[in-house]
Amino acid sequence: MSADRRLRVTFDSAAPIYQRARPDYPAELYSDLLAITGVRPPGRLLEVGCGPGKATLPLARMGFHITAIELGDALAAEARRNLAEFPGVSLITSSFEEWAPPADASFALVYAATAWKWVDAEVKYAKAAAVLPPGGHLAVWNADHAFPVGFDPFFTEIQKVYDAMGEGDGSAWPPARPEDRPEPTAAEFESSGLFDVVGTRRHVWALSYTAEEYIALLDTFSGHIAMEPAKREHLYGQVRRLLASREDGRLTRHWWAVLTLGRRR
How many beta carbons lie within 10 A of that of residue 205, not counting itself? 17
- In angstroms, rounded to a whole number, what is the distance separating the alpha carbons of residues 200 and 32? 9
| 157-176 pLDDT tens trace | 999 999 999 999 888 999 99
70 Cβ contact list (under 8 Å, min separation 6): 49, 50, 51, 76, 79, 91, 92, 93, 94
Neighbours of 26 (CB within 10 A): 16
Q: What is the CATH number assigned to the segment(s) 3-149+175-206+255-264? A: 3.40.50.150
Please list, in sequence order, all residues whose beta carbon lies within 8 angstroms of the beta carbon of residue 206, skipping any fewer than 6 positions away.
252, 253, 254, 255
Phi and psi, residue 264, nearest 5°: -65, 130
For the chain, the domains span 3-149+175-206+255-264
- Dihedral (Cα; 105, 95, 28, 220), 10-degree rounding: 160
pTM: predicted TM-score of the whole model, two decimal places = 0.93
pLDDT at 1 over 80: no
Can you tell me the mean pLDDT for 51-75?
97
pLDDT of 138 above 70: yes
**pLDDT tens per residue across span 10-37:** 788 899 999 999 999 999 999 999 999 9
Question: Any idea how long the chain is?
Answer: 265
- Strand, helix or coil for residue 152: coil
